[in-house]
Amino acid sequence: MSIGKLNGKDVRSIAWEDGRLILLDQTRLPEETVLEEQQTVEQVRESIRQLKVRGAPAIGVAGAYGLVVAMRDSTDLDRAAFLGELRKNAALLESSRPTAVNLAWALRRVIRAADQSNVTSGTELLEVVRSTAEEIHAEDIELCRRIGEHGLPLIQEGMGILTHCNAGRLATSEYGTATAPMYLAHRKGISFRVYSDESRPLLQGSRLTAWELQQAGIEVWTITDNMAAAMMQQGLVDMVIVGTDRVAANGDVANKIGTLGVAILAGYFDIPFYVACPASTVDLDTPTGEEIEIEERDPEEVTHFGLRRTAPEGVRVRNPAFDVTPHHLVTAIITDRGMIEPPYEENLRRTFGNGW
């Protein structure tokens, strides 16, 4: 299931083709479909930082392939030197964005695979790095498909579903997380409407979610973030499904800035608020949402709309990219291992405590 076509070929957020890492530049959507080959690890880091590739699972997969790109010319190194370089490059990639745990998780997984392998040459180590990255990529598709299966029963004929930001195919390798139940329901012939919050300041909802759902033939309505309350008040929204960048051990969830407001609204209007994510987003080492590092981005994203300045020169600006929704506002977390309900502390540990 590709997102679209370019010159007759399927387009995916991330492709690994004949040893080449190709990313769909999401900053150019929906106007242009541009694929960009990643030549160096610095370029991969920059693509993650600039949100050319974005969404928690997708940056994990891109980071893992970034290590292949980083190490492919280091096959003449001995084991110790190779592992040292690998760690250095992983740290470089990890410094691109702090909130989504999937990036650190994927990088650590590649390092662990190389560490635990008993091969000695750089060529063999590169092979371990490459096959682990491919494994993470393939797994991401399967995990999202399972999220879809577990979330599918929630979607009933004629429902209105609100989502925030983009937790869709573009944010993963396929299916998405929040959108996975939607794609599966659509495939089954169930009709429903999706309200896609615009998601200021970078408009992932209107530029990306609306675009990919429209491509798939799903009924989607773009609304600005401040319209969500009115849609709920009018009885148009039967449930909310969003993605997440990190789930803390107590069930608090970090997601795109504005998600907290949506959760509070859903609570007020008594609308179920679901969060969808794969196991790689659950971080049992972070006790609560308070300990999640929230990325603060360039003020220009707030003071400008496109290229046009929309705030006075010199004004003070805050631009946190994410917020934390406390677990008591979350109805359930839809994961690849099933639906996790409160009490989260206990149920998350029971389901994910045995590691990967």
Q: Contact positions toward ligand MRU, by CB under 6 A?
A: 51, 54-57, 100, 165, 167, 171-172, 176-177, 204, 243-245, 255-256, 321
* Shortest CB 87 distance to ligand MRU, Å: 25
Chain residue at closest Cβ approach to ligand MRU: 243
Antiparallel, parallel or unpaired: β 4-6 and 219-223 = unpaired
Catalytic site includes residue 245? yes
For ligand MRU, the closer of residues 38 and 244 by Cβ is 244
Long-range Cβ pairs for the range 27-31 (8 Å, 24+): 27/51, 27/52, 29/170, 29/207, 29/208, 29/211, 30/207, 30/208, 30/210, 30/211
Q: Rg (Cα) of the chain, in Å, rounded?
A: 20
Catalytic residue among 197, 225, 238, 245: 245
Nearest distance from C-beta of residue 321 to ligand MRU, angstroms: 5
Smaller CB separation from ligand MRU, 109 or 207 = 207
Name the burial class of residue 68, with classes exposed (0-12), middle (13-18) and buried (19+) by CB atoms within 10 angstroms of its CB: buried
Compare residues 132 and 199 and give the one whose CB is closer to ligand MRU: 199
The two tokens of residue 116 are 């635990």
Give the count of alpha carbons within 13 A of 297, CB side only. 21
CB of residue 56 to ligand MRU, shortest distance in Å: 4
H/E stretch holding 322 reads: strand 322-325
Closest distance of CB 128 from ligand MRU, Å: 27
Nearer to ligand MRU, 171 or 232 (CB): 171
Tell me the three state secondary structure of residue 215: helix
Catalytic residues, by residue number, are 245
